[in-house]
Structure 1
Amino acid sequence: MHDTDGPGDAVADAYALGSGEWAMAPVARGALGQIWKLTRKHAPNGLSGGPAWAVKELLFDGDEEQVLREAALRDAAEGLGIASPRLLPDRAGAYLTRLGGSPDGPCVKLYEWVEGARADASDPELLSWCGRTLAVLHRAGADTAGTPGPWYERCPSPAEWAGLHARVRRAGVPWGDALGRFVASSAGELARHVTASVADGVPAAGADVVMSHLDVQPQNVLVGPHGPVLLDWDNAGPTSAGRELAQVVFVWSGGNDFHAGSARRLVRAYREAGGRPVLKGLDSFSMLFATTLNYVHVQAECAIDPTVTPALREFASGQVVASLRNLPDPTAVARLAECLETAW
């Protein structure tokens, strides 16, 4: 879609928002979609402004079952006090809408618009909020059966990395040599710390598989007039509660240059809010290493895929470069795990 009147009118019609002229403006771009702000060009009183909505244009085909999981978890979490934008159904009651009546039309979701400032991960109150929120999410999803997906449990094999690197070299992208160095060194080192938390659908020791958000990071939190609001529930699904906690602590406490006090504060808030898993060593961070490896792999594949748009290839190339510069360091992660032993 483009910043024009037509798409806005199509969204407004699909969701029965009312007649009039509508416009959309780009707001943010993520790995899965583009966020647009939808507004009426003129409010009913003839003035500009009025209500706004957030339109998420999916860059890849949407999954109706996944969107239903997202809606169910978001609604359950709201009942437990977690603020988040409502996911709105279209005229037919569906949460995933294909515009234009064509199989090739844009696939969108519609949310309430939320005003707020980007979360500051160094704010002690926000760190406590994050720990409490994650514990509440895990309680909300505790009774939902499921097996974590391979994105969170497995990573590419050496043969898959070698094949990808060969294709990248043939494509002649400027980061090809950097990917080659990564494949020859860090990829294998990180992969050693990736282990499945379930076997044959049976939870491993701890039995801590829950339905959760799976993307609780500062850029998915806005701080509004009534407090923090959690955004972007697209990845909602089954996970190991302990492994999600470990990844969230790593991200919110500063990554490889983590602040021990921030990490302990988040974990203590999680425990005080009823979170049960305990982090023990590098095994707890398996999900962090798996998602890092899978993200580099899938973005590198997209960056050389001739069937996607040039804009998607350009975005994917930037993501590969940024990811290779910010890989989790197992030595730093081990220090983080050690410091958290005193947080229990």
Structure 2
Amino acid sequence: MVPVTRGALGQIWKLSGDGRSWAVKELLFGCDEAQVAREAALRDSAAALGIASPRLHPAWHGAHVNSPGGGSWVKLYDWIDGAEADPSDPAVLDWFGRTMALLHRAGEGAVEGPGAWYERCPDDAAWEDVLKKVRDAGLAWADELDRFITTSVPRLGQWVTPSAPGGLVTSHLDLRPQNVLVGRDGPVLLDWDNAGTVSAEREFARAVHVWSGGNDVDIASARRLGRAYREAGGRAVLTGPESFSMLFATALNYVHVQAETAVDPEVTPEQRDFAARQAVTCLREAPDLGAVSRLVTALGT
């Protein structure tokens, strides 16, 4: 078993033996077993629709996560060989638009509201607290965090609101190019850890932003994705900056969580270093309202 990559929630290992390979995800910050059950159920439903994804294997006791001792939780998946999806590839954009539409159509009728991560962001006191911790720790990016709190937080946070009851679906919630591998049999959707309830409009908006270049928006790519989504029966449309509430909420929450982890004495030095790098990267890539406005103009009602 060898380490392959590290994500926000865990370490990925490649387990090989007897001519076969599997992906082992070691969860570094605990485990919500009910969430893993939702992940497995949605992944299996998506597979029935023809959406390729790695199989999540159950443990001997039937659950799709196991704690073999030492405080770690692990999940076991089929290993997938492939290259990260190229969002500039028209065929990949067409595939992704169709796939998101299939997910939204299959997940219609969700009743339970989305989680706080997608609906709310830290208040002023929480930002002040983490900024003080970062300053007290002497981290070099404290001033950069201060500017982010002064500028990006109020500019984006004003658009973060609870979703309306209608239009909720059960979906993937992390539809990024980094979570798609293209192998010899075509694209495969990975990383279903966040599966749950979301506003279809808000997931569509976030995905269009991410897949069309983020702040360096490519309108042609955005339109192609949107066309593939609609032709496959997707119903979500962009109405304005409020459609991007999920994008803004997750961006702000991620910076806050990573900044908190970067100064947390209870985690390992490696985890603090990873969190600090993530925080700095995301501070510099905060969503731009100008790019959002261009997407609304190009794809909106």
Deviation at 1:105, TM superposition (A): 2.8
Letter in 1 for 2:135: R
1:338 and 2:294 aligned: no
Amino acid of the structure 1 residue aligned with 2:277: G
**In structure 1, what is the Cα distance between the partners aligned to 2:6 and 2:159?**
31
Conserved? CA contact 1:85–1:112, under 8 Å: yes
Given the alignment of the two structures, is residue 76 of structure 1 paired with residue 45 of structure 2, yes or no? yes
Is the 1:84–1:229 contact (alpha carbons within 8 Å) kept by the matching residues of 2?
A: yes
SS at 1:147's partner residue?
Answer: coil
- The structural deviation recorded for 1:144 is 3.6
Q: Does 1:27 align with 2:32?
A: no
Percent sequence identity is: 61
Q: Distance in 2 between matches of 1:106 and 1:155?
A: 29
Pick the aligned partner of 1:127 from 76, 89, 93: 93
Q: Alpha-carbon deviation of 1:164?
A: 1.4
Whether the 8 Å CA contact 1:132–1:269 is kept in 2: the answer is: yes
How far apart, in 1, do the equivalents of 2:297 and 2:124 lie? 30
SS at match of 1:256: coil
Provide the rounded CA distance (Å) in 2 between the counterparts of 1:142 and 1:37. Answer: 35
| Inter-partner Cα distance in structure 1 for 2:180 and 2:192 | 11
Mapped partners of 1:121, 1:99: distance in 2: 38
The CA deviation string for residues 54-107 of structure 1, in whole angstroms up to 9 with x for no partner, is 00000111111000000111011111110000000111111110013xxx4321
Could you give the per-residue CA deviations for residues 90-140 of structure 1, whole angstroms, max 9, x where no partner exists?
11111110013xxx4321000011111111010001001111100111122
Alignment of 1:34-183 (within 5 A): 34-40=11-17, 43=18, 50-100=19-69, 104-183=70-149
For the Cα contact (< 8 Å) 1:158–1:188, is it kept in 2? no
- Point out where structure 2 has 5 or more consecutive residues left out of the alignment: none
Q: CA deviation at 1:334?
A: 1.0
Computing the radius of gyration from Cα coordinates, the structure with the larger value is 1
Out of 301, 304, 314, the position equivalent to 2:273 is 314
State the alpha-carbon separation in 2 of the partners of residues 169 and 260 from structure 1.
Answer: 40
Deviation at 1:340, TM superposition (A): 1.2
SS in 2 for 1:57: strand
Q: Which runs of 5+ in 1 are unaligned?
A: 1-23, 44-49
Q: What is the CA-CA distance between 1:194 and the residue it aligns to? A: 1.1
What is the number of residues matched between the two proteins?
301
Alpha-carbon RMSD: 1.0
Of 282, 290, 293, the residue aligned with 2:241 is: 282
Q: How many Å separate the matches in 1 of 2:158 and 2:126?
A: 16
- Whether the 8 Å CA contact 1:73–1:140 is kept in 2: the answer is no
